[in-house]
Structure 1
Amino acid sequence: MQDVSDSLPVLEADWVNPPLDRTSPLPLYAQIKQRLIGTILRWEQPDRRFFSDEELCEMFCVSRDTVRQALSELVREGMLTRSRGLGTFVAVRKLEERFGPGMDFMRQWEAAGTPIQPTLLVFERCGADDQIAAALEVEVGARVLFIKRTRAAARVPVAIDYRYLPADLVADWDESAALASPLHLLWQRVELRSGDFGIEAGIAGPEEVEYLHLAAGAPVLTRTLRYRDATGRLVMAGHTVHRGDLVRYSLSMPLSRDGKAPAGEIDKSGVHDD
């Protein structure tokens, strides 16, 4: 019998290799689901029917019940649609976060039909350890507010946010602030002057496995961030870990011959979901 993957485009053949880990505590249907998510986000032809149950059974060497469990979750999460007599079709594309003077990730996601769904994991005031102190440029032991949350789109967790702010600056904040846009709230009380960002590729560790439902070693994108006020003080630092198969970044920036940004290019429209 011909190997089904032989007739697939390279990107679609890759995700059936290596074989499923049948010794993993992660159920087979969940492993299949994670691989299918990557394929869904690379799907270039929305009118093309997705793989049938039979094809997936043969690709992964599993039972029809296992395949159906994976597909049922993807349908429930809005990534696939199934119609009797027509088959299964892809319903979503990769989320894109566009960097630029007017970036607003919350509105970008909503405009794409996948509004952000935040879940708060940690909201606590604590003393800064060495790492946090260095990130915020404060003394070790200084009081900071630590926010940790996940963000989901179509009920699929796609990012973990870690944010650190000087506690004295946000003494009146409660958990509702962490479920909105901390940066937007911060902008309402201080004049923000600059934001520094970095993007780095990595692999999933224990927290990404737990909160993003990834397999250990799966690709992730980490975005680091630091915001300063008009005096140069760091008022927020942290990072976000994104699923590498569900999110991509693009960059837009003003250009000028003398290297100076045109007046008015960077303003409060730049507030996003940080």
Structure 2
Amino acid sequence: MQSLCLKPPNISPPAETIASNQDLLTPVLLCIPARSLLRFKCVCKNWFALIFNPKFCDIHTSKNPYPNVSAFFFHTAIHDFYFISIPNNENQSGSLLKPPRIIEHPPRIKILQSCNGLLLCCSLREITNTSSTPRRYFVLNPTTNKCSAITNSPYATKSTSILGVALAFDPSKSLHYKVLCIRCIAGSVISFQIDIYSSETRNWTLRESTFLRPFHIDFSHGVYFNGAINWISRTSRVLHYNIDEESHGMVSRPPSYNVFRKREYRYFGESRGHLHLIEIYRPCVTQFDVMEMGRDC
């Protein structure tokens, strides 16, 4: 069956030529934001095939490595997730939507991290009287509703336990992502096992690192910034691990930090190439500081 593009009655001949010629259409569509492209795929089968072509997707991602924030995702009490769509301009209003279910099994998932348009998720353990279901990890692309399951690391042993899992994805450098799993080794407080999964090879590699674990570091909440995974402690000290260089280091507390004031961080995350920390002051939760880390740490 031949695929025909839908043509408005008043379309001009030059526009019709571009719309029906893939060589002319491709450079035009590469300049279109991802949200609009998802609407344009409904024009006809030819446009649908072009927009979802893996090569086209890779080129579009490399040309738009840091798109504008499009939505905020959040959980509900039943462990489902919704998102609030952010409008393109001030005259529009955001909308509360529930995305299509991407993962059918297991149906209950938790968002662990957002990294440059991808979401790192894990399944929630199903505990029964006899056993519990092992936790599984996924990488979701909410724009395309595509999901990739992360295989279990072959380096997991009974003498190690997972402290945290983090996602590293920088489309300005590569269209492939990495997932870092940090494990503690039984009986040791300075030796850690680090497994790194690559979406390019679909394999795990084992890295070993030795460093003294800072007090109250939250390994369950890793943030990818400046080529490294960053974790924060309750005293606002930051531990970072550079994936490519296999090096680690500590970042000093913010200059304004005062150990005698009751503070706690409420947000630690990256946005458009910047790492931000938001702290509140107890008992007054309406007083807070927003701090930004330089790329030199």
User: What's the TM-score, normalizing by structure 1?
Assistant: 0.26
Higher share of residues assigned strand: 2
Higher share of residues assigned helix: 1
Question: Which structure would you say has the larger RCO, counting Cα contacts within 8 Å and 6 or more residues apart?
Answer: 1
User: Which structure is larger by alpha-carbon Rg, 1 or 2?
Assistant: 2
